[in-house]
Amino acid sequence: MFDRRLIQNFDWILLLLLLIVAAISILNLYSATYPIRDVGGSLIFVKQIYWFSIGFIVFLLMTTFNYHLLERFAYPAYFLSIALLIAVLFIGKVTSGSQRWLSMGPVSLQPSELAKVAVLIVLAKFFSENSGFREYRLRDLWQPFVLIGIPSILILKEPDLGTALLLMLVSLSVVLFVKVNWKSLSIFVLSALSVAPFIWFNLKEYQKMRILTFIKPDMDPLGAGYHINQSKIAIGSGQLWGKGFLKGTQTRLNFLPEQHTDFAFSVLAEEWGFFGSVLLILLYMFLILWGLNIAKDSKDKFGSIMAVGVVAIVFWQVAINVGMATGLLPVVGIPLLFFSYGGSSLISSMALMGLLMNISMRRFMFQ
Amino acid sequence: MKTSDFDPISITIFNRQLRNATIVVLAVFGVLILRLWFLQIVNGGMYRTKSEHNRIRLQDVPPFRGMIFDRNGEMLVDNRPSYDLYVIPEGIQDREELIKSLDRLLGLDPKVTEQDLAKASHKLPFTPICLKKDMSRDALAVIETHRFNLPGIMVEVKPQRFYVYKSLASHILGHLGEIGENQLKNGGYPNNKSGDLIGKSGVERKWQSFLNGMRGGEQVEVDAAGRKIRVISKKPAVSGKNVYLTIDKGLQTLAEEALVDKTGAIVAVDPDNGEVLALASSPSFDPNLFVMGIDKATWREISTSGGYPLQNRALTGQCPPGSVFKIIVALAGLEEGVVNPEEEVFCNGVYTLGKHKFRCWKKWGHGNVKLHRALVESCDVYFYTMGKRLGVNKIARYAKMFGLGNRTGFDAGKERGGLIPTSKWKLKRFGVPWQAGETISTSIGQSFVLVTPVQMATLISAVFNGGILYRPKVTKWVGDSQDQRICEFSPEVMGKVEVKQEYLELVKKALIGVVNEPHGTGWRTKLKDITVAGKTGTAQVVKLKKEKELDDAGGVPWKYRDHAWFVAVAPAERPRIALAVVIEHGGHGGSAASPIAKEIIKAYLGVAE
């Protein structure tokens, strides 16, 4: 069953892109957390190296099986992730006001990360099987909407606004990708817009405030407003060539909040300037375009749609995180994948990349 | 062919959609790169300058702690500005020179300054380091005139707790202290962070959540020396709520003056609602000392000196009530029917039970006494006889009816409940049965009986207000101002004494006699225009016999001397004030405690002698 062609078809470009981003990420974390040690006492960039190592193992593991297997396990995986999302609401660990983590012995797990992948697989399965429609109309789409809606609402309950938003954006991207009838799309958008004010007036005052500060960070001068201000100064002051490695004053003097997680990009932009930040952006862009290419080369719809979904995850995370750091978008807690510090999101991202590699490696195979 | 394999039409759609997706991706990334170009190239110079002078930082705006007023609206606790001297390590030009200048101008010990600066090396270079808290106005003037020669130095103004009358009412008001590690963790103080001062005792502790207020903050731009240039945006702090007490500042002052150089406590309440008018405990302390963070020497002095000034004796000072307890035995005897007010008991100075002899305080005895005279002249033998008839458990039942043996639930401060012994209690506590002789000494408020001054004030109030036990309290209401009250505390009845009114009247008449009749033990409290009623008590610290020996050996040492009690109300016909006075090791209640009660009553009712 193991085919020599798998090795021949190994996607070296995808791997190379990932390795370059990983290297830059570790270098950048070294700078961002230069004096800081985490709770365990080890340096954060060292821990990130561990995470990357585990991530690459997960990445390789994800290539060992034929991805069509996932088609069979799509629904069980989906329902398992829903069960975990419900469980986290009851027995999850509360950290800074929200319940996102499920601890099982020594391992902590973020069910929302799992849900992202599960929703992707279910959607890919649904759209690959329902190929009778040339263009989908709204009435054909009620099933995917339910499939997306349930986990989104559960994640919103935690509450994890960022991840819920990401899940919805990624799923909608997939739905749009499979081509929705223009008329249906406009009806959908119009009805969503007409319901919005109704929902707004039914919200409680504190809920309104939360949404308003989300849209207008200035309303929270000590939180989001301050973060954006400092991040813009950090990025802008990098100018063309940057201040140099370990020389970012914004970073050194701790002006940047969350500089190793959500604002890791700002650290890079300060120290490596326009040159460095555009280089990183281009790397992500190549990764995305390469992923679209994999989708194109795939010989079946399931693989193709799943590849598009993975690409959508990368796309939205980069767009939102960089958009936030540069002050184009409101502050949402979405990390830059492969780049921000954090084990859970890194491993789930690497798993997704493994899936992409899996699809890429089997592009010439026929069943 | 599997269903999911591509059909030609799907391939066409997919390829077109992939092309569209590519366009979207290129467009979005184009926008991101344009944005970066705009930030880093177009405005890069401006941001570079900003980052080099980046002095935008977050600054805490601590809330004003709520103020505390007395019942007449007189301010007891305020906040005053404290001028604190800070240095920003990054701004220092010549470290040695700065240390020398500060020594020369302000007399700051170079060694201490050196240490403070050394601590700073672990912090970020823009974090201000406090060199001196609460500078004097003179020091402030010196700094202001020399500020251009002192780069890196700045002065911050912070509100600081200020107890206007220093030690006045310190036990009620309480003191502040730095919030503890556990208190931060357990979530009980959501508006506080490390380093904050919170109420540690008294009203400051009880109403911490009201007084504290909500922290605000500012995004400020500061100059190279760390001085604030402008506020970019801010979230204002919300001041704490004010607390209005039932204390009368004038009366409180008088009560504390009466206790100067003595150890003891005074509790004065309004007998009709339990509002505490004055509550003094001596020795006392100045809560202002705790605001700046108390130094070790002062702390040691306060916490270990013999007087325990932090202890609120009015609530926690437990000692035997002595003859004051006879009020309870008299009422118990009447209600239980073992005492006929007209019955005469012969007192020859000694009561004999088995081999034991129990003495009356009057060596030669009172002769034939009825209930009235027994209370007025505080005849011990009469009450030994009554106590014997009642038994300890009945006495205890009435004592508990008056709230003794339990905490009163006073609203500000730790309290102890005292002790009312029963036969069951003794068996459980010591494993030995109750002795008949112990009933005898219990009936004059000795043996195991322990009470606190606040309980005694409640007791005497109840005798004169028809038997209602009001919970003593010191908080009238909490709010922003007179018109905006958040919560109000109305009188709270915690129990009713089940004794017939006629018996209460008999006892009241006797207590008037204590002060106003020729041989009454409380004669020193007598006032011309106002009828005062009361009861003296002398609580033995050591046994009478021992005391006698000590006396013969040339004076009783202070710590063996008796505690002097006096409880009183005035005017007896319609009491407006009830009070309990205890002077530890003061000697006799009549001579040591009752004159103090007189001064307080005089002042409160505004009468001359």
Tell me if chain B has a CB within 8 Å of the CB of A322. yes
Residue B561's pLDDT is what?
Answer: 80
DSSP B147-170: GGGSTTEEEEEEEEEEETTTTTTH
* A244 contact residues in B (CB cutoff 8 A): none
What are the structure tokens assigned to B275, written together? Answer: 């509002």
pLDDT at residue A367 is higher than 50: no
Q: Which of B282, B323, B447, B594 is catalytic?
A: B323
- Alpha-carbon distance values, A146 to A140, A143, A325 (Å): 12, 5, 33
- Maximum Cα interatomic distance, chain B, rounded to a whole number of Å: 128
- The shortest CB-CB distance from B40 to any of A218, A225, A240 is to A240
Asked: is B58-245 a CATH 3.90.1310.10 domain? The reply is yes
Q: In chain B, what percentage of residues exceed pLDDT 70?
A: 90
Exposed / middle / buried, residue B25 (Cβ in 10 Å: 0-12, 13-18, 19+): buried
Rounded CA-CA distance A249/B90 in Å is: 13
Residue B546's pLDDT is what?
Answer: 58
pLDDT at residue A127 is higher than 50: yes
Q: What is the pLDDT of residues A265-319, one digit of tens each?
A: 988 998 899 999 999 999 999 999 999 999 988 888 888 999 999 999 999 999 9
Q: Which residues contact B341 (CB under 8 A, 6 or more apart)?
A: B334, B370, B371, B372, B506
Q: Tell me whether strands B350-353 and B356-359 are parallel, antiparallel or unpaired.
A: antiparallel
| B43 to chain A: closest CA residue | A236
Residue A3's pLDDT is what?
Answer: 66
Q: Decide if B125 and A269 are in contact by the 8 Å CB cutoff.
A: no
Supply angle C-alpha B100, B102, B107, rounded to 5.
105
Rounded CA-CA distance B229/B239 in Å is: 25
Mean local confidence (pLDDT), A67-78 = 88
| A273 to chain B: closest CA residue | B40
With CA atoms as reference, report the closest residue to B200 among B161, B247, B245. Answer: B161
What are the structure tokens assigned to B185, written together? Answer: 């963790």
Q: What is the pLDDT of residues B546-601, one digit of tens each?
A: 555 656 555 667 777 888 999 999 898 999 999 999 998 888 877 888 888 888 99
- Check: pTM over 0.80? Answer yes or no: no
**What is the C-alpha R_g of chain B?**
35
Rounded CA-CA distance B316/B304 in Å is: 17
* Mean predicted lDDT score pLDDT of chain B: 85
Residue A69's pLDDT is what?
Answer: 87
For chain B, what are the domain ranges?
Answer: 58-245, 249-287+311-605
Minimum mean pLDDT among A97-106, A275-284, B305-314: which range?
A: A97-106
Q: What is the DSSP letter of B473?
A: B
pLDDT at residue A1 is higher than 70: no
Residue B547's pLDDT is what?
Answer: 56
Supply angle C-alpha B48, B50, B55, rounded to 5.
140
Residue A175's pLDDT is what?
Answer: 86
Q: What is the pLDDT of residues B31-67, one digit of tens each?
A: 999 999 999 998 888 888 877 766 666 777 888 899 9
At A46, is the secondary structure helix, strand, or coil?
Answer: helix
Q: Which residues contact B28 (CB under 8 A, 6 or more apart)?
A: A315, A319
* B5 contact residues in A (CB cutoff 8 A): 299-301
Alpha carbon B546 to its chain centroid, in Å, reads 37
Told to judge if B378 belongs to the known catalytic residues of this protein, a careful annotator would answer no
Supply angle C-alpha B545, B550, B551, rounded to 5.
95
Identify the band that residue A256 occupies on the pLDDT scale cut at 50, 70 and 90: low
Q: How many residues does chain A have?
A: 367
With CA atoms as reference, report the closest residue to A243 among B56, B125, B40. Answer: B40
Instruction: Name the superfamily (CATH) of residues B249-287+311-605.
Output: DD-peptidase/beta-lactamase superfamily (3.40.710.10)
Asked if B392 contacts B436 with a C-beta cutoff of 8 angstroms, the reply is no
Chain A segment 246-265 residues within 8 A of B by beta carbon are 249-250, 253-255
* A308 contact residues in B (CB cutoff 8 A): 18, 21
Residue A39's pLDDT is what?
Answer: 45
Mean local confidence (pLDDT), B307-312 = 84
Asked if B421 contacts B447 with a C-beta cutoff of 8 angstroms, the reply is yes
Q: In chain B, what percentage of residues exceed pLDDT 90?
A: 36
DSSP B205-234: HHTHHHHH-B-EEEEEEE-TTS-EEEEEEE
* Mean predicted lDDT score pLDDT of chain A: 81
pLDDT at residue B226 is higher than 60: no
Residue A98's pLDDT is what?
Answer: 59
Minimum mean pLDDT among A195-204, B93-102, B146-155, B224-233: which range?
A: B224-233
Residue B579's pLDDT is what?
Answer: 93
Q: Hey, of A131, A282, A308, A314, which one would you mutate to test binding to chain B, going by the most B CBs within 10 A of its CB?
A: A131
Highest mean pLDDT among B128-142, B257-271, B472-486: B257-271
Question: Which residues does residue B582 pair with via DSSP β-bridges, in sequence order?
Answer: B265, B565
Please give the residue that has the higher pLDDT: either B500 or A2. Answer: B500
Identify the band that residue B218 occupies on the pLDDT scale cut at 50, 70 and 90: confident
| A254 to chain B: closest CA residue | B124
What are the structure tokens assigned to A127, written together? Answer: 């759209």
For chain A, what are the domain ranges?
Answer: 1-61+216-367, 72-185
Identify the band that residue B76 occupies on the pLDDT scale cut at 50, 70 and 90: very high
Tell me if chain B has a CB within 8 Å of the CB of A300. yes
Supply angle C-alpha B378, B384, B388, rounded to 5.
145
With CA atoms as reference, report the closest residue to A28 among A277, A241, A245. Answer: A245
DSSP B39-98: IIIISHHHHHHHHHT--EEEEEEPPPPPPEE-TTS-EEEEEEEEEEEEE-GGG-S-HHHH
Mean local confidence (pLDDT), B68-87 = 89
What are the structure tokens assigned to B335, written together? Answer: 């209600």
pLDDT at residue B1 is higher than 50: no
Residue B451's pLDDT is what?
Answer: 94
